[in-house]
Amino acid sequence: MMSKTLKDLAPGEKARIKAVTGNGSVRRRIIEMGLVPGVELTMERYAPLGDPVEVSNPGFFLSLRKEEADTIVLEENAEEEQ
Amino acid sequence: MDEKRIVIALAGNPNSGKTTIFNNLTGARQHVGNYPGVTVEKKEGWLKHQGFEIEVIDLPGTYGLSAYSPDEVVARNVIVNDKPDLVVNIADASNLERSLYLNTQLKELEVPIVLVLNMADVAEKNGITINYELMSQLLGMTVVRAVGTKNEGTVTILDTVVNTFAGEDKPSERMLRYRPEIEEEINSLLELPFAGRQSGSPSSEAAAAGNLDGILNYPLRWTIIKLLERDRELTKKLENNSEGKVLLKQIEQSRQRITDKTGDDPEMALVEDRYAFIRGVCREASQITIISKQSLTEKIDNVLLNRALGIPLFLGMMWLLFQLTFTLGTPPMEWIEAGFTALGGWLNEVMAEGLLRSLLVDGIIAGVGGVIVFLPNILLLFLGIAFLESTGYMARAAFVMDKVMHQAGLHGKSFVPMLIGFGCTVPALMASRTLENPRDRLVTMLVTPLMSCGARLPVYTLLIGAFFAPQIAGNILFSLYIIGIVLAIIMARVFRTWLLPGESEPFVMELPIYRLPTLKSVLIHMWERAWLYLKKAGTIILALSIVMWGLFTFPTVDKEGHEFESAVEQVENSYAGRMGKVIEPVLRPLGFDWKTGVALVAGLGAKEIVVSTLGTLYSIEDEEGLAEEEEPVVKSFAQRAREQSGYSPLVAYVLMLFTLIYVPCLAVVAVMKRETNGWKWPLFTVGYTIALAWVVCFLVYRGGLLLGIG
């Protein structure tokens, strides 16, 4: 399966969350922070050393490692806003 | 009496400005302690309002009330067990949706809530208009506007607390409803026969009898919901109980049905429903009128987290912190030093010679004075750290450093306790509790003592001042800090690979918006940390100074009962001198003599004592020197050390290295014992740091000799 994940987002790009895979405490933390399906995220930047990454949702900045960003599956053609 | 007393618990997300509100409410009437059995810090404060005595318990900052971190478990247990009269939930108004998540969790614990929307000014600037009255209705609780940093809303919060307590503002008992498929399962679980008997306090008898009486003392609906989310703590409690096992089986069946019917797993479905509810409330009660442009935080981060500039700026920030600490700290240090010298001199004049004078001057004043003299440095350092923490840069530092830390087997968050370790290892070990994974936490605690704490600074300052030119002093000092960091990274890697292999903690961390902290917050924060240092200095160090004085002073006569001919002879024959001589053969290869050995033995108690012991040793010799010259020249500590120790700069450097690496002080050992719940890890730390110190010092000393240095 080659679904697009948060890891694939380049800085400045936006996309909506489709699903959060993974399990245990990482997933719990991610979804409790509000990263649930339907939410739109903007990739803000990669850290100076390339990892972790920073994403934003209006008013809220969150950092996560690429391995964790890889568990957040995004909707395709997210650039088209309804 | 009793009805005039209100106990409130302050809840809120990390970065919600909760601490500022706590300080606004309680001012200086605070007490910092620990929750029993766990190492989570407990802050309490008191105040009077409208004739009520209000006690404020500051809960640890959390995003939810799951059992994934000790902080979350403590927060929910305080609410359930200590039964505060009400919870004041501090939410970030500029970040409403995420902030309200905790509110839905608190509501399910069936406790009256007053919701405070803090940082309302930031929200308003971002174009968010909030209808407080409507939001109050929708959430079924009073919602209050506040700006903690400007002390706005403090009185309103207190008025609302009193009104809610007095029953004038009645919080609604209506609960958040989940999708029908879930509510159906919750209702059928609520009807199970043993479910109704959960009230009462937990008892081990009931647990042993195999029924659920008293095990589940949380509100029932909340308990069922948490079990549907596979809450770790609750599930564990039920697993060892026969009725519990039956309940767990029912829960699993319900979970399966929810998945089958909704196509979502129950964890996600529940969280999604909470967020759907929150979004509904926000849509109705708040309005975004301005399309948000790039915020100040984004502009600052474009520079501070820039790919090219991020790391140099981070290193520069750290360098600046230390330069400021030492440059600004030196003048007051000199005044304090002069003050203590004068005090000792005055006592020598007015008191008759004897043991008491010796105890006061050489034991107490020399020991404690030698510690307090470095207070300006420590206060400044903590001031800087408090500033970095409350502006929001600390989280950025973790973001910038995570890759390096992760490669070392640590976590970006490990950086925070390690940075605090530069101030004092004791609060640093406490700060490590922000790490959720026990292994990450343990490795962080094991290597944090290698971060050069403020108490080691006196040793460096003295030796660098005495043995190195002022032009290179800064570089020598910086090299010690760097060596500590490098060793910590190496040891973390070693521990993570060989001692504690396993998965590392997730790095899901909020980067709070930048804020200028209030002076009051920074000062209180600084004072808390400095107080820990002082308490340590005041109690353990005073006690140890007196013990050390005793070890140096006794026996006062030799075996035949004759007085010793010189002070040096007396010290050599004292208990301390004998101890130093016993370990001298082990320390010889590092270039140390028995006096250094004595100081290092003393330093096992606390690092500062390395200085005061060297001080005691040289002040004794100094008296003798003065007697010979019959010239009351007061020489500085550094001068005496240089002239009378006979150290070469290489030996002085190796001594600093040894001080850097070997065993943290007794207070650290004690804290680590409590944090890890046993003696295994503190003793391991004592052992490994001594061995590491010896090996590193041996290599540096022998290498230095081969290169012809020294």
Torsion angle, CA of B246/B247/B249/B253, rounded to 10 degrees?
A: 140
What are the chain B neighbours of A65 within 8 Å (beta carbons)?
A: 402, 406, 506-507
Long-range contacts of range B296-302, CB-CB < 8 Å, 24 or more positions apart?
B296/B513, B296/B514, B297/A61, B297/B392, B297/B513, B297/B514, B298/A44, B300/B514, B301/A44, B301/A45, B301/A54, B301/A61, B301/B396, B301/B511
Find the mean pLDDT for residues B19-42: 76
- Residue B631 is predicted with a pLDDT of 39
Residue of chain A minimizing CA distance to B293 = A58
Is there a single domain that holds both residue B575 and residue B679?
A: yes
A52 contacts: CB under 8 Å, gap ≥ 6: A46, A63, A64, A65, A66, A68, A69, B399, B402, B403, B412, B507
Banded model confidence at residue B68, pLDDT cuts 50, 70, 90: confident
* Residues A14 and A70: beta-carbon distance below 8 Å: no
Q: Which of B388-397, B558-567, B637-646 has the least mean pLDDT?
A: B637-646
Mean pLDDT of chain B: 82
Instruction: Look at residue B290 and tell me if it is in a domain.
Output: no
Instruction: Give B272→chain A minimum CA distance, Å.
Output: 6
DSSP readout, B287-343?
A: EE-S-----HHHHHHHHHT-TTTHHHHHHHHHHHHHHHHHHHHHHHHHHHHHHHHHH
For residue B98, give the CATH number of its domain: 3.40.50.300
Is there a single domain that holds both residue B477 and residue B332?
A: yes
ipTM above 0.85, yes or no: yes
**SS3 label, residue B610:** helix
Give B311-331 pLDDT, tens digit per residue. 899 888 877 876 776 678 778
* Residues B113 and B106: beta-carbon distance below 8 Å: yes
Q: Which of A43-47, B163-167, B693-697 has the least mean pLDDT?
A: B163-167
Cβ separation A34–B98 shorter than 8 A: yes
- Residue B476 is predicted with a pLDDT of 92
**Angstrom distance (rounded) from CA B654 to CA B651:** 5
Structure tokens at B93: 């108004």
How many domains does the structure of chain B reveal?
A: 4
Is there a single domain that holds both residue B51 and residue B147?
A: yes
pLDDT for B619 beyond 60? no
The DSSP letter of residue A76 is: S
- Residue B622 is predicted with a pLDDT of 47
- Residue A10 is predicted with a pLDDT of 93
| Residue spans of beta strands (DSSP E) within B13-96 | 30-34, 41-49, 52-58, 86-92
Give B569-608 pLDDT, tens digit per residue. 777 788 878 888 888 899 999 988 888 888 887 787 677 7
* Residues B218 and B187: beta-carbon distance below 8 Å: no
**Angstrom distance (rounded) from CA B440 to CA B503:** 9
**SS3 label, residue B232:** helix
* Residues A15 and B79: beta-carbon distance below 8 Å: no
Is there a single domain that holds both residue B130 and residue B254?
A: no
| Residue spans of beta strands (DSSP E) within B68-201 | 86-92, 113-118, 128-130, 142-145
- Residue A35 is predicted with a pLDDT of 92
Show the DSSP H helices in B537-679 as ranges.
542-553, 567-573, 575-587, 594-603, 608-629, 637-645, 649-661, 666-676
pLDDT for B519 beyond 70? yes
Nearest to A63 by CA among B576, B691, B400: B400
Cβ separation A62–B306 shorter than 8 A: no
Instruction: Look at residue B627 and tell me if it is in a domain.
Output: yes
Cβ separation A32–B66 shorter than 8 A: yes
Reply yes or no: is the peptide bond before residue A52 cis, omega within 30 of 0.
yes
- Residue B242 is predicted with a pLDDT of 80
What CA–CA distances, in Å, run from B326 to B321, B454, B564?
Answer: 9, 11, 42
Candidates B64, B403, B508; nearest CB to A68? B508
Find the mean pLDDT for residues B297-321: 87
Residues in chain B: 710
- Residue B616 is predicted with a pLDDT of 64
Give B252-277 pLDDT, tens digit per residue. 999 999 999 988 889 999 999 999 99
What are the chain B neighbours of A52 within 8 Å (beta carbons)?
A: 399, 402-403, 412, 507
The DSSP letter of residue B96 is: H
**Angstrom distance (rounded) from CA B223 to CA B201:** 15
What are the chain A neighbours of B64 within 8 Å (beta carbons)?
A: 32
What are the chain B neighbours of A60 within 8 Å (beta carbons)?
A: 95, 98, 510
Which residue, of B531, B557, B589, is where some domain finishes? B531
**SS3 label, residue B36:** coil
CATH tag for A6-74 (out of 3.60.150.10, 3.90.850.10, 2.30.30.90, 3.40.50.620): 2.30.30.90
Give B485-516 pLDDT, tens digit per residue. 999 989 999 998 888 877 666 788 889 888 88
What are the chain A neighbours of B398 within 8 Å (beta carbons)?
A: 63
* Residues B272 and A37: beta-carbon distance below 8 Å: yes
Interface with chain B: mutation pick from A20, A27, A29, A42, highest number of B CBs within 10 Å: A29
Is there a single domain that holds both residue B218 and residue B153?
A: no
B668 contacts: CB under 8 Å, gap ≥ 6: B425, B426, B429, B449, B682
What are the chain A neighbours of B509 within 8 Å (beta carbons)?
A: 62-64
DSSP readout, B344-396?
A: HHHHHHHSPSSHHHHIIIIIIIHHHHHHHTTHHHHHHHHHHHHHHHHHTHHHH
Is there a single domain that holds both residue B646 and residue B610?
A: yes
pLDDT for A28 beyond 80? yes
Where in the sequence is the domain holding B477, given as residue range(s)?
312-531
Q: What pairing do the DSSP bridges indicate for beta strands B52-58 and B5-12? A: parallel
Coarse DSSP helix, strand, coil percentages of chain A, rounded to the nearest 5 percent: 20, 35, 45
* Share of residues in chain B with pLDDT > 70 (%): 84
Region class of B634: left (phi > 0), else alpha (psi between -120 and 50), else beta: beta
Banded model confidence at residue B389, pLDDT cuts 50, 70, 90: confident
Is there a single domain that holds both residue B152 and residue B253?
A: no
Find the mean pLDDT for residues B138-143: 92
**Phi and psi at residue B106, to the nearest 5°:** -65, -40
R_g of chain B, CA atoms, integer Å: 30
Instruction: Look at residue B160 and tell me if it is in a domain.
Output: yes
Which residue, of B531, B549, B579, is where some domain finishes? B531
Candidates B68, B292, B399; nearest CB to A52? B399
Cβ separation A54–B511 shorter than 8 A: yes
**Angstrom distance (rounded) from CA B586 to CA B519:** 50
Interhelix angle B296-304/B393-407, nearest 10 degrees: 40
Cβ separation B310–A47 shorter than 8 A: yes
Q: Which of B93-97, B366-370, B457-461 has the highest mean pLDDT?
A: B93-97
What are the chain A neighbours of B97 within 8 Å (beta carbons)?
A: 34
pLDDT for B437 beyond 60? yes
Cβ separation B511–A47 shorter than 8 A: no
Is there a single domain that holds both residue B65 and residue B158?
A: yes
Structure tokens at B236: 């564990």
- Residue B634 is predicted with a pLDDT of 45
B693 contacts: CB under 8 Å, gap ≥ 6: B657, B658, B660, B661, B662
pLDDT for B207 beyond 50? no
Torsion angle, CA of B129/B283/B60/B198, rounded to 10 degrees?
A: 140
The DSSP letter of residue B60 is: P
DSSP readout, B518-542?
A: PHHHHHHHHHHHHHHHHHHIIIIIH
Q: What is the identity of the amino acid at B60?
A: P
Nearest to B139 by CA among B346, B286, B26: B286
Q: What is the identity of the amino acid at B190?
A: L
Cβ separation B406–A26 shorter than 8 A: no
Q: What is the identity of the amino acid at B598?
A: V
pLDDT for A73 beyond 90? yes
Cβ separation B311–A59 shorter than 8 A: no
Nearest to B102 by CA among B195, B15, B23, B212: B15
Residue of chain A minimizing CA distance to B267 = A28
What are the chain A neighbours of B399 within 8 Å (beta carbons)?
A: 47, 52, 54, 63
Give B75-104 pLDDT, tens digit per residue. 988 988 888 999 999 999 988 989 999 999
Find the mean pLDDT for residues B149-165: 92
Structure tokens at B644: 């009378």
B333 contacts: CB under 8 Å, gap ≥ 6: B373, B374, B376, B377
Q: What pairing do the DSSP bridges indicate for beta strands B128-130 and B86-92? A: unpaired
What CA–CA distances, in Å, run from B419 to B394, B401, B412?
Answer: 9, 12, 11
Q: What is the identity of the amino acid at B574?
A: S
**Angstrom distance (rounded) from CA B375 to CA B367:** 14
**Angstrom distance (rounded) from CA B437 to CA B297:** 30
**Angstrom distance (rounded) from CA B199 to CA B214:** 6
Q: What is the identity of the amino acid at B65?
A: L
Torsion angle, CA of B92/B94/B97/B101, rounded to 10 degrees?
A: -10
Q: Of B640 and B362, which is predicted with more confidence? A: B362
pLDDT for B198 beyond 60? no
pLDDT for B632 beyond 60? no
If interface means Cβ-Cβ distance under 8 Å, which residues of chain A face chain B?
20, 25-34, 36-37, 44-52, 54, 58-65, 68
Is there a single domain that holds both residue B355 and residue B400?
A: yes
Q: What is the identity of the amino acid at B137?
A: Q
- Residue B212 is predicted with a pLDDT of 61
Is there a single domain that holds both residue B573 and residue B688?
A: yes
pLDDT for B183 beyond 50? yes
Find the mean pLDDT for residues B214-238: 84
What are the chain B neighbours of A31 within 8 Å (beta carbons)?
A: 267-268, 271-272
Give B696-709 pLDDT, tens digit per residue. 999 999 999 998 77
- Residue B504 is predicted with a pLDDT of 64
pLDDT for B544 beyond 70? no
Cβ separation A34–B307 shorter than 8 A: no
Structure tokens at B404: 């390096």
Instruction: Look at residue B303 and tell me if it is in a domain.
Output: no
Cβ separation B310–A58 shorter than 8 A: no
Cβ separation B508–A28 shorter than 8 A: no
Instruction: List beta partners, residue B42.
Output: B33
pLDDT for A82 beyond 70? no
Q: Which of B81-90, B288-297, B655-664 has the least mean pLDDT?
A: B288-297
* Residues B362 and B421: beta-carbon distance below 8 Å: no
Is there a single domain that holds both residue B544 and residue B526?
A: no
pTM: 0.78
**Angstrom distance (rounded) from CA B258 to CA B180:** 10
Find the mean pLDDT for residues B681-696: 94
B126 contacts: CB under 8 Å, gap ≥ 6: A59, B94, B288, B290, B292, B295
Is there a single domain that holds both residue B328 and residue B469?
A: yes
